[in-house]
């Protein structure tokens, strides 16, 4: 039983290959790209300099060992292993190298490839038939293949391919895309586009929205310095974004829902952040938040400043030269962080519905200046990671799977953006939302001190007092170790109110009756 390959001329796409009982096959080179596929994933591509429309299809005949080679006709070229290695076409990942095709062809040292002739080469053991490149298909009877030789060379080294990606040809097979990291010389952290990677060793101090609160920034930096000293220099500082744009109210008019009063010092905080990065190169990072994004392509925020907006107010404060430097700093911020063993860090709730790792790392920040906040929320990736305050458990699980890399499974995602009144809140088994500064009283503010070598398999593994630490421990000492959930607190409040209502409706006891019973309440008799 012989096999056949059908190629549509001029397109260079191999549609199929059948292998017979005796292991024979056929390879067809068509148009600008020549491909041949087998059950072992054999695929050879050779790109010719001529355009696909002008190049005629050619046929590479599979010859048994010892078969004579046909002479090259006019317009044809003999292509061997060395010549092929220097050409644009190479061997596809998941396939054997070019040696497989040559050994399968009987060990012949040279294969024939037609480049311009409308007819293919002829061989004593096979007949090549080809119609014009604009019309027909090419079909070739096959010679026998030395299967033993083919099996011996399947482990040869592979080279990248210029043809279509393997994922497009084999949809059922999962193909990991190679990474091109930018590794910092001093630390083990590296950037892959817009995604930050922290290694599975050392410690990481994670802080959420500061919004120009310089005292809280100094508190977090003090915790990072202590961790850096305790771990012999193997610690990282990670901010989740929203370093700038604080409230502008005086202390006498400070709203209660904004937590403890502070003065907006966004400019001083940026200077301190840049100085900290220079002091600890490769150890201090920040994600981009929606407030930083408003300076580099996002809609202007108006939380505290309406006219001018917060974005315009900060840029006027900084001046033209410093504004450009700050914009360049914000553009360098990543949007996502994969840290340690299975932990993901984002700015907001990760309600990413479709995008995967490659789409996120190649996202562009610009082009959304004219959008409203409502329109920005619907923008894929940027709106989903910057503005969302809640994500369902199913969407989070799918998101964690889509951003997995190098065989490491993701378990937990931590983020800020939404103030949590008690400091932190677990949303199911995969999410932890916590607040370090903005919108909280000082005794409720917390930050994360994460062991990167440990695999946190759920949000419950992040414990208060171990991984979740108070920013002001001297104020948080009276805080209960085990806090009641929101439902338990509402139930306790309801019971207390019911008790007060019952006491109010109970008739007052007379002084004579109380004295006659010796100060004791009368027992109520059961109804008959």
pLDDT at residue 496 in the model: 73
pLDDT at residue 506 in the model: 58
> Considering just the CA atoms, what is the radius of gyration of the chain in Å?
34
Tokens standing for residue 498: 């019911």
HEC string of 297-309? Answer: CCCCCCCCCCCCC
Q: What is the largest CA-CA distance in the chain?
A: 130
pLDDT profile of the chain (528 residues), mean per 10 = 39 37 36 36 36 33 40 38 37 37 39 34 35 35 51 48 36 33 56 96 97 97 97 96 92 91 95 97 96 94 83 93 96 96 96 94 93 92 93 94 93 96 93 96 96 95 95 76 55 68 60 53 47
DSSP E strands: which ranges in 92-212?
Answer: 111-114, 129-130, 137-139, 182-183, 190-192, 195-198, 203-207
- Non-local CB neighbours of 287 within 8 Å, separated by 6+ positions: 196, 238, 239, 240, 241, 333, 334, 335, 336, 337, 345, 346, 347
- Non-local CB neighbours of 508 within 8 Å, separated by 6+ positions: none
pLDDT at residue 487 in the model: 57
**Contacts by 481-484, CB closer than 8 A, 24 or more apart:** 483/422
The Cα 63–Cα 108 span in angstroms is: 8
Cross-strand partners of 338:
197, 344
Contact yes or no for 76/110 (Cβ under 8 A): no
- Whole-structure pTM value: 0.58
Phi, psi of 477 (to 5 degrees): -65, -30
- Non-local CB neighbours of 241 within 8 Å, separated by 6+ positions: 209, 286, 287, 288, 289, 290, 291, 292, 333, 347, 416, 417
Question: Strands 33-35, 58-60: parallel, antiparallel or unpaired by DSSP?
Answer: unpaired
pLDDT at residue 308 in the model: 86
**What domains are there in the chain, each with its CATH number?**
1-175 (no CATH), 182-470 (3.60.21.10)
Identify which of 453, 212, 448, 201 has the alpha carbon closest to the alpha carbon of residue 345.
448
pLDDT at residue 165 in the model: 38
The Cα 457–Cα 467 span in angstroms is: 14
Identify which of 191, 212, 158 has the alpha carbon closest to the alpha carbon of residue 336.
191
pLDDT at residue 303 in the model: 79
Q: Integer distance in angstroms from the first to the last C-alpha of the chain?
A: 98
DSSP, collapsed to helix, strand or coil, labels residue 23 as: coil
pLDDT at residue 22 in the model: 37
The Cα 88–Cα 278 span in angstroms is: 44
User: Which DSSP category does 75 fall into?
Assistant: T
- Non-local CB neighbours of 368 within 8 Å, separated by 6+ positions: 297, 298, 299, 376, 379, 382
pLDDT at residue 248 in the model: 86
């Amino acid at each position: 039983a012989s096999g056949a390959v059908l190629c549509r001329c001029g397109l260079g796409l191999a549609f199929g290959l059948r292998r017979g009982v005796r292991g024979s096959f056929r390879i067809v080179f068509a148009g600008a790209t020549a491909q041949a596929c087998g059950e072992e994933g054999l695929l050879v591509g050779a790109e010719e300099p001529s355009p696909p429309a002008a190049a005629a299809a050619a046929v590479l005949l599979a010859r048994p060992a010892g078969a004579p080679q046909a002479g090259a006709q006019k317009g044809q070229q003999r292509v061997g292993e060395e010549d092929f290695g220097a050409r644009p076409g190479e061997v596809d990942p998941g396939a054997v190298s070019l040696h497989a095709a040559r050994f399968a062809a009987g060990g012949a040292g040279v294969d024939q490839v037609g480049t311009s002739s409308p007819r293919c080469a002829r061989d004593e053991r096979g007949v090549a038939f080809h119609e014009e490149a604009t019309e027909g298909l090419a079909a070739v009877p096959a010679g026998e293949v030395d299967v033993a030789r083919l099996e011996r060379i399947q482990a040869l080294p592979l080279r990248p391919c210029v043809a279509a990606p393997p994922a497009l040809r084999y949809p059922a097979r999962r193909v990991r895309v190679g990474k091109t990291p930018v590794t910092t010389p001093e630390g083990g952290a590296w950037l892959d586009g817009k995604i930050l990677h922290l290694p599975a060793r050392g410690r990481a101090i994670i802080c959420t929205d500061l919004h120009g609160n310089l005292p809280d920034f100094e508190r977090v930096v003090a915790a990072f310095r202590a961790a850096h000293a305790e771990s012999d220099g193997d610690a990282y500082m990670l901010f989740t974004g929203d370093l700038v744009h604080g409230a502008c109210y005086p202390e006498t008019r400070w709203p209660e829902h904004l937590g403890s009063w502070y003065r907006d010092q966004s400019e001083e905080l940026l200077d301190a952040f840049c100085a900290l990065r220079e002091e600890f190169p490769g150890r201090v990072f920040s994600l981009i938040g929606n407030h930083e994004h408003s300076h580099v392509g996002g809609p202007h925020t108006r939380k505290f400043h309406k006219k001018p907006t917060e974005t315009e107010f900060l840029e006027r404060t900084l001046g033209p030269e410093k504004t450009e430097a700050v914009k360049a700093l914000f553009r360098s911020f990543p949007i996502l962080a994969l840290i340690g063993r299975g932990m993901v860090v984002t700015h907001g709730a990760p309600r990413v519905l479709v995008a995967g790792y490659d789409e996120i790392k190649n996202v562009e920040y610009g082009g959304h200046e004219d959008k409203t906040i409502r329109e920005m929320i619907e923008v894929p990736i940027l709106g989903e990671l910057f503005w969302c305050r809640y994500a369902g458990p199913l969407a989070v699980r799918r998101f964690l799977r889509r951003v997995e890399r190098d065989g490491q499974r993701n378990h937990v995602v931590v983020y800020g953006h939404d103030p949590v009144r008690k400091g932190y809140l677990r949303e199911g088994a995969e999410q932890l939302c916590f607040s370090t500064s903005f919108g909280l009283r000082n005794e409720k503010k917390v930050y994360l001190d994460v062991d990167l070598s440990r695999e946190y398999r759920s949000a419950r593994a992040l414990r208060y007092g171990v991984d979740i630490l108070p920013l002001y421990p001297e104020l948080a000492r009276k805080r209960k170790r085990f806090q009641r959930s929101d439902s338990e607190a509402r139930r306790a409040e309801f019971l207390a109110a019911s008790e007060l209502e019952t006491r109010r409706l109970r008739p007052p006891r007379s002084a004579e009756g109380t004295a006659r019973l010796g100060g004791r309440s009368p027992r109520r008799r059961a109804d008959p």
